[in-house]
Structure 1
Amino acid sequence: MRQASNYIPREILDNICAQNDIAEVISECGVLLKPVGKTYKGLCPFHDEKTPSFNVSPEKQAFYCFGCNAGGNVISFLRKYDGKSFMEAMEWLSERAGIPLPAQDGRARQISQKRLELQDLNRFAMEHFHRQLLDPKIGGYALAYLKNRAIKDQTIREFQLGYATPGRQDIVKAATQAGFSIQQLIDVGLIRSDEQGTTDRFRGRVIFPIRDERGNPVGFGGRAVSEEQLPKYLNSPTTALYDKSKTLYNLYEARQAIQKEEKVILVEGYFDALMPYQAGAQNVVASLGTSFSASHADLLKRFADETILLYDGDPAGFQATLRGLHILLAAGLRVQVASLPPDTDPDQFIRAQGLDTFNQLIDSAMNLIEFQIQRATQQHAIHRIDVKTQAIKEIALTLSNLKNQVELSEYAKYAAQELDIERSVLLRELQRLGVKMSRPVSPPRHTQAAPTARMSPRESIEWQLIEALLQGPDLLSLAKANFHYQDFTHPDFATIGRMLWEASDNEAIIDMQNLINACANEKITSIISKALLKKTIPPNLTTRVEGCLKKLKDFLLWDVERMRRSEALAQGNNSKSILAELVELSNRRRQLAR
């Protein structure tokens, strides 16, 4: 439900946020929260921890993790947790609250309403198929098939697996009785229509609901229960809700595990994703076939920086791995490849070998060049000139997709060593492909520092003032009368100060939610959230603000005094007027210290 405009009137935005309690939303996203007084606590979904440091306040509609310093409001959470844009987060929240976002025209409203109705139909079908599977008289044979594939009852319930009966119009009858139309069934891909009439698409198949990253059922996959039934797998066609090239199976269920592991395992099919997930390796998604697109890569990049390719150990699997490798690299992701034994898929491997061996396979994943060289070695005699030449071309093509110049240079060096060739040979092949070699320094990845880490005494006072003003914004008039935000020395505090000063000029009462929404800097929203969710607040904020202002005035006077002394020394000027000015500044500082 994309909107024609990113503008949302303030009153609608406030209403949508007010109808989406932050604790409820975070819980629905899979974070287990336990009440602690007026707040909630849980394990942070943004870093791995054993002791809960993730705090959520329904009263202040804010979250903050005292472990990794992530923080914000309900919109910030969805943007960080799901990788959503601001508008995507608002669309999700508006649907949850049942409050429509403004559309530019009547056509846009109609499209939005149609999508909501099709989602309702898919949800009805998912629940219908699931009930049929669990009914022994209807779905007994299909259920036995799943049990034979080692699928557990809990997995069947969690993934809402289902069964479509063999009748030609079973879903037609059930859906129309529930109030849905034939055209809607066609639009969502649940039935086919031809000269002979309408026919259920998935009849006689185990059903795998396909959800988008928000958890909405957008399509279905059907697996034939009988080996004689062809094709073995059947997916929903492209619809207004479902695009195979932009959807990854199990992404909704795997999001939390992906973020904790900071990597995602990419497999091919439904069972290849379900079996590792069921066994405990839950950061796994499937591309619904061997085709992998740039849109898939962009979707994965929203959740993890590293992808491990785990496709079937056969020639088709190798080709799929190679295609996926280039696409993922072009999207700027780090890529590794875990090689399965020949004629083995992830489903078979984990059933035969177990979780520990599966994890060992993942941990031993090869870098992209190791995979290329191993593939060339397995298929040919790598010492032959023609084979080595072909390997160089294939590896150069892979390297040409790398975005990071440091990685490109290091991989080129490694490949040259392994292939026993001069590095210049590989560089020439890269140049032929249009690659320009350079050596920029890539910034190291690091976790966001807490706002109070390694601060000077002056910055510590500035933090206390900012913290007190966020906790008691009614004290801003006192602060503004005695201080200016440009005098903050810490850049983050100066940014927050400017936001507070400007907000107080426009509003009688500052709304902290609006302050967070107006800020695109994740670090700043985290600092604001930390102040809002501080466990102990000073009993007298006025005294705290007055004390901070007094100390900051002292620092400012010191700045002026040092500047005047430096100017006097530089000019060799010891006039009585400058000496008198310095004495006056010193006296004023002593008076402040009393």
Structure 2
Amino acid sequence: MTVDEAAVYIRNNVDIVEIISRYVSLKKVGRNYFGLCPFHSEKSPSFSVNQSKGIFKCFGCGEGGDVIKFLSKIENISYREAVIRLAGEIGITVEVDARTEALFKLTEDSQKLLNTVLETKAGSLALSYLKDRGIKDETIKKFGIGYDPARDFLQKGLTKRGYKLDMLRAAGLINSSGNDFFAYRVVFPIDNMSKRVVGFGGRSLDNNNPIKYLNTGETPLFKKSRVLYGLRQALPIIDKSKSVILVEGYFDTVVLSQEGFMNVVGILGTSVSPEQSRLLSRRVRRAILLLDADDAGITAALKGCFALLSQNVEPVVGILPEGLDPDETALRYKDKLMDILNAPMNLVPFISFVATKYFKGIRSPEFLEVLSQNLRGLSTSPLLEMALKEISEAMGVEPRTLLGFVSMKSNSSENDFSDRSVQTQRKLSDVENIEEQMARLIANTPELSTVVMADEYFYPYTPGLKEVMDAVTKWDPEIHNAENYIDLFPDYLKDFVEESLAENFGTYEQKEKLVKELLGRWRVKDLDNFIKKLREQIEHAPSDNLLEQLQEVLKEREEVSRELQNIE
């Protein structure tokens, strides 16, 4: 049976309620089942499952689909992997895509070939290096560590086994010069959640090489932001303890695991990605960020705290002695590392530490800007809201000031502590900015257009918003998918709509609240303009009629402002 055939069979024969109930507590109400959405944080159920139709839909975040889509998203696996897994449960055989399976076999054969080198004379230098780094034989075996001793070693070994060079390129095993990508490097295989090798990381043996570490580039199998190094080995302990230690790289992971800290995984870089945070959120309640004690490590820890909070994972931070890496600390000062992990720094003390060390204190405008940069683009969650309330109290600002940064799209791809002037937060003060935000929200969630149209005072002045409103009135959820939904809009707005669809504004209730707030701000701005004109008229030609009119408008503005405060 092909994947497509199996998918049809699964949709018709697998009980979606039974599968989803493994992850979500469902309660039957009428013909449907309801529960708390596992894809965003909410306090009241908006996640619905229709058993007869075999579909789910969250009316909060908009996620929906069939049982295959659910399993794919909840387990962070591909559509194909979800079909194969569900097919296995009901006893049907799926024909695996030949090229994908060939790539998996290639990466697994590569791992075995590289690992066996360590048992030969060609691998003696690498084996000596691993021993010097404190790696034991059983650890090398457990993690499948290997070595590539020449520019063409892997190519020759794999082509003898029948593999073509184009397959090696597709798997990221050959570089643009035609040489082995990981030549002269100790190689660490990276597994996915299905325990199959998807990529590699390599460490140069030449300490003068400016590029000490390399990861496989993006391939059909490997996307760095979606994997965690060592997760397969750590999973049993993680599932038992509901906690995880996050470190940057390969040696940190294998050494800590070897020394007894077995719930450790590597984030393969300096920051925790949203995908990695979501992957962890289904397994753990608490994450200890144990990154390097240098500026880059502290930067990454701060950013990682908020990424984890947005997925309802409590972050704490282990601060290492300056100049020590996690693996070195585990080998030389194991008791000290145990103390650090047993008493990590909670979020607010860590933030105070960062603000004092790098800025002019927690109340400084510079630090507020760094917080805003780290919050933008994140979805909200109960843990994040609680954390921002505590931070706002420490900073002496209103909680909504910090919450206002959440889900806002950042123009910067990097968050750092570089010495730069403080960027002023863009304020929704003029009509054009208010209407742009409104257009983004309506393009993201067309149902919100009814809230705007119900406002008796509002009329779109800017062409963009008017055309967005006109387009969404043609939207029909029964016939429009993502592609033909975008086609409803004029060409010059299509990029804008695609960007808006990608933004996370929170639940429907949060988006509706924001639209109402924008309408209130628009009304205040409109009244301010009218008040200004009345005052100019009174200044040039005072009259009782104009004064009465001004008093009425001022009273109306006060009422609108009061309503706006209630919304906020």
TM-score by length of 1: 0.53
The alignment status of 1:152 with 2:133, answered yes or no, reads no
Q: What letter corresponds to residue 129 of structure 1 in structure 2?
A: L
1:250 pairs with 2:227: no
Alpha-carbon separation, structure 1, partners of 2:406 and 2:11: 52
Report SS of the residue matched to 2:297. helix
| Aligned pairs (5 A) from 1:73-222 | 88=81, 91-92=84-85, 100-101=93-94, 112-135=97-120, 137-166=121-150, 168-194=151-177, 198-222=178-202
Q: Which residue in 2 is equivalent to 1:429?
A: 401
| Unpaired stretches in structure 1, ≥5 consecutive residues | 15-74, 103-108, 437-594
- Does residue 353 (structure 1) correspond to residue 305 (structure 2)? The answer is no
Aligned to 1:221, the other structure's residue is in SS state: strand
RMSD of aligned Cα (Å): 3.7
Distance 1:222 1:184 in 2: 20
For the pair 1:403 / 2:380, whether they are aligned, the reply is yes
Aligned match of 1:388: 364
The 3 A distance-change label for structure 1 pair 346 and 186 is: same
Q: Deviations over 1:10-38 (max 9, x none)?
A: 79999xxxxxxxxxxxxxxxxxxxxxxxx
Find the aligned partners of 2:353 and 2:122 in 1 and give their Cα distance: 49
Distance between the aligned counterparts of 2:383 and 2:213, measured in 1? Answer: 43
Show the 5 A alignment for 1:405-554.
Answer: 405=382, 408=385, 410-412=386-388, 414-415=390-391, 418-419=394-395, 421=396, 425-427=397-399, 429-430=401-402, 432-433=404-405
Q: What is the aligned partner in structure 2 of residue 362 from structure 1?
A: 341
Is the Cα contact below 8 Å between 2:375 and 2:405 reproduced in 1?
Answer: no
Task: Determine the C-alpha separation between the residues in 2 that align with 1:97 and 1:221.
Answer: 36
Query: What percent of counterpart residues are identical?
Result: 33
Alpha-carbon distance change, 435 to 207 in structure 1, aligned in 2, over 3 angstroms = closer
- Which residue among 241, 244, 247 is the counterpart of 1:261? 241
Displacement after TM superposition at 1:120 (Å): 0.5
2:94 is matched by which residue type in structure 1?
A: L
How far 1:163 sits from its partner (Å)?
0.9
User: What secondary structure, in the 3-state scheme, does the structure 2 residue paired with 1:376 have?
Assistant: helix
SS class of match (1:9): helix
Question: What is the alpha-carbon distance in structure 2 between the residues aligned to residue 381 and residue 11 of structure 1?
Answer: 58
Measure how far apart 1:351 and its partner are.
1.5
Instruction: Tell me, in whole angstroms, the C-alpha distance in 2 between the residues paired with 1:146 and 1:433.
Output: 45
Count of residues paired in the alignment: 351
Gaps of 5+ in 2: 15-67, 409-568
Post-superposition CA distance 1:202-225 (Å, at most 9, x none): 111111111112210111111111
* 1:7 aligned counterpart, secondary structure: helix
Cα deviations by residue, 1:422-475 (Å, 9 ceiling, x for unpaired)? xxx333523654799xxxxxxxxxxxxxxxxxxxxxxxxxxxxxxxxxxxxxxx
Cα offset, 1:164, TM superposition: 0.4
Report the Cα distance in structure 1 between the residues aligned to 2:78 and 2:145, rounded to whole angstroms.
30
Mark the CA change 1:415 to 1:154 in structure 2 (over 3 Å): closer, same or farther. same
- State the 1:129 CA deviation: 0.5
Find the aligned partners of 1:374 and 1:249 in 2 and give their Cα distance: 29
Which of 361, 371, 375 pairs up with 2:350? 371
Query: 1:180 Cα shift?
Result: 1.1
Alpha carbons of 1:97 and 1:353: their partners in 2 closer, same or farther (altered >3 Å)? farther
Distance 1:328 1:375 in 2: 18
Aligned pair in 2 of structure 1 residues 415, 201: CA closer, same or farther (>3 Å)? closer
2-structure distance, mates of 1:434, 1:245: 21
Cα distance in 1 for partners of 2:274, 2:190 equals 19
Measured against aligned partners, the alpha-carbon deviations of 1:503-522 in whole angstroms (never above 9, x if no partner) come to xxxxxxxxxxxxxxxxxxxx
Structure 2: distance between partners of 1:12 and 1:174: 46
User: 1:373 is matched by which residue type in structure 2?
Assistant: S
Equivalent residue letter for 1:219: G
- The alpha-carbon distance between structure 1 residues 244 and 404, as it changes in their structure 2 partners (threshold 3 A), is closer
The alpha-carbon distance between structure 1 residues 94 and 178, as it changes in their structure 2 partners (threshold 3 A), is farther
Query: Matched residue of 2:265: which SS?
Result: strand
